[in-house]
Structure 1
Amino acid sequence: MIKKILVSQPKPASEKSPYFDIASKYGVELVFRPFIKVEGISAKEFRLQRINILDFSAIVFTSRHAVDNFFKLAKELRITISEEMKYFCVTETVALYIQKYVQYRKRKVFFGTVGKIADLVPTMLKHKTEKFLVPLSDVHDNSVAELLDSKKLLHAECVMYRTVSNDFSEDEIKSFDYDMLIFFSPSGVQSLVKNFPNFKQGKIAIGTFGPTTAKAVTDSNLRLDLQAPSKEFTSMTGALEHFLEEHK
């Protein structure tokens, strides 16, 4: 019987989240506790990449983490960002988040709708004389660089933040009594192994979102009980509800 589920994400901001409907419908307790956190790199570390931010006329933001750490580094480096700088964001939410740092109405901001850089490329091509800088996490592949290369856009990628384990306190370790764990990234699974080196899965169910996260579970010699997305369920909440229905 599954009564207590640990979801390795921040608690949803909206009370209308499907997670809360699931908790009510199936009488389960949902605990939202990220296994990973994002931290910015230092100005010293950034300088080692030999990237000069002022050499670029446009910034491509893939997340709010990228926005936060770009402006944090600019401040540490004592760089004044030109009012002519253009910003290309993967979603409107990220675009609006820029207002935290600059006067939105005075800037040139563009955004996509599906959360992928590929969706931004047609807009970027309309500004192909710009030189684009793409701030990224330390965990990334070459897909962004290869995509922009294929479109003959002037660009460079740089690391501005990293994903690290959000370590558990001694009290959290002692009270770790969940019936199910849900992960959304390989880093979350790695954090579990780091924080609980003697972890015995037993009857604890493990659910994952995304193929790389699922692989991280099996590579850690753990049993994978629920995998999303699937043909039937595109979201974790949909897959979780079906799983609880089958195991109630």
Structure 2
Amino acid sequence: MLKNEAKKGASVAPIKKILITQPRPESDKSPYFELARKYGVALDFHPFIKLEGIPCKDFRKQKIDIAQYTAVIFTSRNAIDHFFRICEEMKISVSQDTKYFCITEAVALYLQKFILYRKRKVFYGADGTNKSMFDVINKHKENERFLYPCSENQQDNEIVNWLKSHKCEFATPFMYRTISNDIKQVMGGHEYDIICFFTPSGVKSLFDNFPTYQQNGTRIGAFGNNTSKAVEEAGLKLDIKAPLPQAPSMVAALEQFLQAETKKK
């Protein structure tokens, strides 16, 4: 059941169970599991959204010629997957001179699945923030035409506004869309002390499933500025935020929060 509202004056319950609104990591060496062992917390993983690729016939309606662009901005592995899916299905050959600008090193390294990494020009921000990625793009933006592949119902307006304000030539092709997952069984059967969100669509999914959801003492974590904004616009209190210079990942932000909670005991 959803957590009952805490009584006024009652002490905040200790952190015992955390819900990560993403798929379970494939590797047991994931830092999430080290975090769970270190602080004695239980972690559940369940994606709040699922992705649906936009068919080529719908992509063509956007009238964007991928081959005419010299640089691509990636903010997620999903964007990489669907960019190369569209290229393969439409038999588009991506130039070996294409530059790739990624939000994090992890996203950049994922490109190895599709390209010869060392022979391409791949760049990424220092700390996982848009600003650090912009700093890198700014050094290489001359004479580039940028593609920013994103979801049909979600794009980072901060990136779009930056490209506009810096007079960059760019296009934002929609290559996939996000759909809310059915999470009623997950949320209805458990009480979570922390719920971590990674996209605005994940926050939307919570309210699609539970229109009258009340936070009632559950701590909320958010990764990314747009996700943080979605949390606050939904009327929820944001307790854990990433990325920040001292917490470049959600794991790092969670560790800082758990460390602080431990000191309170």
Aligned to 1:120: 136
Aligned to 2:158: 143
Aligned to 1:185: 199
Aligned to 2:254: 236
Aligned to 1:27: 40
Could you tell me which runs of 5 or more consecutive residues in structure 2 were left unpaired when the two chains were aligned: 1-12, 248-252
1:242 and 1:9, CA in 2 relative to 1: closer, same or farther beyond 3 A?
farther
1:93 and 1:109, CA in 2 relative to 1: closer, same or farther beyond 3 A?
farther
TM-score (ref. length: structure 1):
0.75
Aligned to 1:58: 71
Say how many residue pairs are matched. Answer: 239
Question: Aligned partner of 1:166: which letter?
Answer: N
Decide whether the 8 Å contact of 2:71 with 2:99 is kept in 1.
Answer: yes
Decide whether the 8 Å contact of 1:88 with 1:111 is kept in 2.
Answer: yes
2:111 pairs with 1:98? yes
Superposition deviation, residue 142 in structure 1: 4.1
Distance in 1, Cα, partners of 2:139 & 2:101:
11
TM-score (ref. length: structure 2):
0.71
1:156 and 1:172, CA in 2 relative to 1: closer, same or farther beyond 3 A?
closer
1:154 and 1:21, CA in 2 relative to 1: closer, same or farther beyond 3 A?
closer
Distance in 1, Cα, partners of 2:174 & 2:107:
18
Distance in 2, Cα, partners of 1:78 & 1:215:
38
Superposition deviation, residue 100 in structure 1: 1.8
Superposition deviation, residue 188 in structure 1: 1.9
Secondary structure of 2:82 counterpart: helix
Aligned to 1:134: 148
2:125 pairs with 1:109? no
2:53 pairs with 1:37? no
Superposition deviation, residue 131 in structure 1: 2.8
156, 160, 177: which one aligns with 2:175: 160
Distance in 2, Cα, partners of 1:60 & 1:205:
35
1:142 and 1:3, CA in 2 relative to 1: closer, same or farther beyond 3 A?
closer
1:201 and 1:92, CA in 2 relative to 1: closer, same or farther beyond 3 A?
closer
Distance in 2, Cα, partners of 1:93 & 1:15:
15
Superposition deviation, residue 75 in structure 1: 2.0
Aligned to 1:196: 210
Distance in 1, Cα, partners of 2:160 & 2:243:
29
Secondary structure of 2:149 counterpart: strand
Distance in 2, Cα, partners of 1:230 & 1:101:
26
Distance in 2, Cα, partners of 1:158 & 1:187:
18
Cα root mean square deviation, aligned: 3.4
Decide whether the 8 Å contact of 1:88 with 1:120 is kept in 2.
Answer: no
2:88 pairs with 1:88? no
Could you tell me which runs of 5 or more consecutive residues in structure 1 were left unpaired when the two chains were aligned: none
Decide whether the 8 Å contact of 2:56 with 2:86 is kept in 1.
Answer: yes
Distance in 1, Cα, partners of 2:225 & 2:96:
40
Superposition deviation, residue 29 in structure 1: 1.3
1:158 and 1:211, CA in 2 relative to 1: closer, same or farther beyond 3 A?
closer
Decide whether the 8 Å contact of 1:214 with 1:227 is kept in 2.
Answer: no
Superposition deviation, residue 111 in structure 1: 0.9
